[in-house]
Amino acid sequence: MAQFVTRRFVLLLPVLVGILIVTFTLVRLIPGDPCKAMLGERATEAKCSAFRERFGLNDSIPVQFARYIGRVVQGDFGTSIQTGRPVTDVLAERLPMTVELTFFAVIFASAAGVLLGVVSAVRQNSAGDVAAMVIANTGVSMPIFWLGLMLAYIFALALKGTFFQLPPSGRLAAGANLPSLMKIWNITEEDGMRRFLTMFLSNSVLLSALIQGNFPVFVDGLRHMVLPSLAVGTISMSVIARMTRGAMLDVLTQDYVRVARAKGLAERAVILKHALRNALVPIVTVIGLQIGGLLSGAVLTETVFNLPGMGTAIVTAITARDYPVVQAFTVVVAMIFVLVNLVVDLSYAYLNPRIRVS
């Protein structure tokens, strides 16, 4: 097992290096001049020259890349061209929202998707099978922006005044008071990584509320996450449901399932202990891919529900040719994606011991 884990970690190194190279190269290929994007089309050549000198854009590409790598190794992603703020501050502000949204969307998509897939496979060709697949195909067919608006209309307007009423947008209710951990812990700019972590926790409403013991705000934050999580997780739910159905149908025809039934085991034990566990490898793979896709930024969902996440920040940065911000968000998302895939690989060894042996 130790060798299996070590091999996976070693294989990560060239992947991370490749991510840095590809990210740096692709960002430089974005059409347009950062100076013109920031200062306007009428900016003089003298102003643009000073602008490029200030942000190091006059240097050769190899020099810029070497400087970029040196900063990334130290945890410094540079300064935003658009706002003049440290990019780590922008990350600490925008990343928590996306992480929270991804977390709840994956929980919903995995639970609902696996349930639909198992029901569909166990009751193959029945009305339950057809109904489950209709739900899955409908979920993957609906545009997120339309689904988000419909959810907001139903739960915020049609069910107004009932127990099921939910907030249509925003992160917290108007007037909700949640002090920043930056002020509580007296964090300054000289605190380095501690400042980044504290800012991350401060901008994560749920974690900050738990740390401060403010449970009314925590509950309010959870209620605000329900509709966005349902909207962004519906497509992932549909993909997981169809993968679960296919994997379960394949497993249910295996000899060990027939033996388990012949031994007189309860049908629930046969399905959950023998069939579902052996079908989990492809299901876990799909769930890992869905996590990476959600982390890349649900732009439409964030726009519909007015959430300050990474998706809208990346779109704004690309429009402004803000190289440091685009690079930082892309590298962070790619690294998280790689780490998720690593966790998925390691889970294979637990779910299927034969992978460990091989």
Q: Where are the alpha helices (DSSP H) in the chain?
A: 2-28, 34-39, 45-54, 61-73, 87-122, 127-141, 144-152, 181-184, 193-203, 205-212, 215-251, 255-262, 267-269, 277-295, 299-304, 310-319, 323-351, 353-357
Residues 272-285 have a mean pLDDT of 86
For residue 358, pLDDT over 70 is answered with no
For residue 273, pLDDT over 90 is answered with no
pLDDT of residue 269: 85
Which of 168-172, 253-257, 295-299, 313-317 bottoms out in mean pLDDT, i.e. has the lowest?
Answer: 295-299
For residue 1, pLDDT over 80 is answered with no
Residues 6+ apart with CB under 8 A from 212: 178, 179, 181, 184
Residues 30-54 have a mean pLDDT of 74
Per-residue pLDDT of 183-226, as tens digits, reads: 888 887 777 778 888 889 998 999 999 999 999 999 999 999 99
Share of the chain above pLDDT 90, in %: 13
For residue 14, pLDDT over 90 is answered with no
pLDDT of residue 355: 65
pLDDT band at 263; cut points 50, 70, 90:
confident
Per-residue pLDDT of 78-115, as tens digits, reads: 888 778 888 888 888 888 998 899 999 999 999 999 99
For residue 58, pLDDT over 60 is answered with yes
The CA distance from 64 to 213, in Å, is 46
CATH topology of domain 90-316: MetI-like fold (1.10.3720)
Which of 31-40, 124-133, 141-150 bottoms out in mean pLDDT, i.e. has the lowest?
Answer: 31-40
pLDDT of residue 272: 85
In this prediction the pTM is 0.85
Residues 249-265 have a mean pLDDT of 86
Phi, psi (degrees; rounded to nearest 5) at 86? -60, 135
pLDDT of residue 297: 54
Nearest-CA neighbor of 193 among 335, 69, 60, 75? 75
Per-residue pLDDT of 67-77, as tens digits, reads: 888 888 887 88
Phi, psi (degrees; rounded to nearest 5) at 79? -120, 140
